[in-house]
A and B are shown apart, each in its own frame.
Chain A
């Protein structure tokens, strides 16, 4: 698979050498993949992204987009990459329709195509009812959707979305994720996604890069990362109120029990042991006062907590 972006030994130092924002980062973004960049606040994600769209010059190292240096070809980057950073106040005084249409025209799309595509995006994102309202007078969520339409119009081959679902309600978040999936599936759009919403990102992304303290901690597919972190399955058991201690005493005979809450406990077991454990639980449902049990595979959140948090050193 061809690489869209090639990042080599990227280093970014701010404040006259006092703050190291990115430290020796190297990775590729493959054509047609959805790659998520995860990391805590201040980890250096946005700095990395700004350099990738040529809005910030690396202190050292290089970034190539389609084999060309992004700093030397910054206008080409703006032509090929749809970059969603934040709510843009540059569009605040335009109506929703104008914001999408003007951006399309500034992206070089012909007038009739821009009009057609603007209509399509307004309908697609259910913005028709507010198309003549000024951007500054619509809700934050609607403004984000309109901003996304403005950067996606014309289908640039690469999308870089920095926190696209921040402050969105669940319905609008779903719309955004479906849109990302759709563009990737139907157009082969390469997507780099910076998000804090790990649970939702898991449903969309192919690979994950975790950044912390300016360093790339790990980059791999979700499946591989889960295996690396902890391949065991979680068996969660919810017991009747006040019966946890008795249930815990029984469960301890079969393995280690973690207490999650007053009525909820959890056991971690290998895939080959899970059937045995579940059989035991089913046989002892009454003794355990078990109301509900479920088997949960490791999630991307587990991976993130392990690799993006304090104890990443032990795994990297």
Chain B
């Protein structure tokens, strides 16, 4: 028996064509978690496959914009105060998060929808949460290298001392996760990739220059100050700046809580309010 016949014999061993939709027997919790993890792993591997040939370019390009801004600030500002320097460095760390987390992810999801990729996913018995988590982790992993690169470049260019504390880890995680959730939301809600591209490009410029990412919130007009509170990057920039200085204040804790709420809220909206299997 050749391997085709062998395979056929084995696949025919238990014909399932007469399956009916009966209520499934309860699955043990551990098995259910293991199955869910396996599902997430393969969804992530599909996401990874999409960038495995280009990830160096993507990360490099995501770093060039903040790197250029950082150099511009270095040449433009004469003797900036340590506080201003720290704000510039932390702001330029947020920059790649906005590029990769919001722009990159939003556009990626919008294009995936346009190309009919969701038809493939919707045809599989996968969970919506894992489907979204795979996108979020992709956004996170694509942002992280640029964040690290900009932290190092910031130190080299402005000779500041970044304090590597344990608290920096959850801060960075949340700073990347919340904008990634925001990007997912834009990608899912937007009607087409062109619109998504316009929205995310506009947001990138707005968030970087008209919200307190690189400047103090008090330097902004009152209206922009109020609008700034609607975006996760405001809290990410504030918390990250303080954590890089090695101080964990109540304000940092508040930033973290708000970032967590942003992450959960964006996730909740997509999970609960959108039936991803159904086309709109």
Contact = CB atoms under 8 A, between A and B. Distances in A.
Q: Which of B11, B50, B126 has the most CB atoms of chain A within a 10 A radius of its CB?
A: B11
B15 A187 contact: yes
Contacts of A75: 125
Interface in A88-105: 88-91, 93-94, 98, 102-103, 105
B218 interface: no
Contacts of B19: 66, 80, 157
Interface in B9-38: 10-12, 15-21, 35, 38
Contacts of A124: 4, 7
Chain B interface extent, by class: 35 or more
A62 to B, nearest CB: 15
A31 B124 contact: no
A254 to B, nearest CB: 51
A79 B112 CA distance: 22
Contacts of B42: 102, 105-106
Contacts of A78: 122-126, 277
B116 A89 contact: yes
Interface string B86-122: 0000000000000000000000000010011111111
Q: Which of B11, B38, B123, B277 has the most CB atoms of chain A within a 10 A radius of its CB?
A: B123
Interface in B210-240: none
Given A80-B21, A120-B11, A56 B279 contact: yes
A188 interface: yes
Contacts of A91: 46, 120
B38 A90 contact: no
A57 to B, nearest CB: 5
A116 interface: yes
Contacts of A194: none
Given A90-B46, A186-B8, A55 B125 contact: no
B52 interface: yes
Contacts of B39: 105-106
Interface string A8-39: 00000000000000000000000110000000
A65 interface: yes
Given A89-B116, A90-B121, A106-B124, A76 B21 contact: yes
Contacts of B112: 90
A267 interface: no
Interface in B45-71: 45-46, 49-50, 52-53
B125 A88 contact: no
B278 interface: yes
A50 interface: yes
A201 to B, nearest CB: 21
B46 A54 contact: no
B119 A55 contact: yes
Contacts of A188: 15, 17-18
Interface in A34-84: 50, 53-57, 65-68, 71, 73-76, 78-83
A155 B12 CA distance: 9
B43 interface: yes
B35 A108 contact: yes
A120 B8 contact: yes
B7 A103 contact: no
Contact of B124 (A65, A66, A94, A103): A103
B108 to A, nearest CB: 12
A190 interface: yes
B3 interface: yes
B272 to A, nearest CB: 15
A68 B15 CA distance: 21
Contacts of B53: 93
A94 B124 CA distance: 17
A66 B46 contact: no
B14 to A, nearest CB: 9
Nearest to B47: A93
A67 B21 contact: yes
Contacts of A256: none
A57 B124 CA distance: 18
Contact of B21 (A50, A66, A151): A66
B278 A187 contact: no
A189 B12 CA distance: 11
A81 B122 CA distance: 11
A232 interface: no
A54 B277 contact: yes
A221 interface: no
A68 B125 contact: no
Contacts of B15: 155, 186-188
A157 B17 contact: yes
A155 B122 CA distance: 18
A157 B6 CA distance: 21
Interface string A92-135: 01100010001101111000000011011101100000000000
7 contacts: A65-B21, A105-B39, A105-B42, A120-B6, A120-B10, A187-B15, A189-B17
Interface of B: 3-4, 6-8, 10-12, 15-21, 35, 38-39, 42-43, 45-46, 49-50, 52-53, 112, 115-126, 275, 277-279
Given A78-B126, A102-B46, 6 more contacts: A31-B18, A55-B123, A75-B125, A80-B21, A108-B125, A151-B123
Interface of A: 31-32, 50, 53-57, 65-68, 71, 73-76, 78-83, 85-86, 88-91, 93-94, 98, 102-103, 105-108, 116-117, 119-121, 123-124, 151, 155-157, 186-190
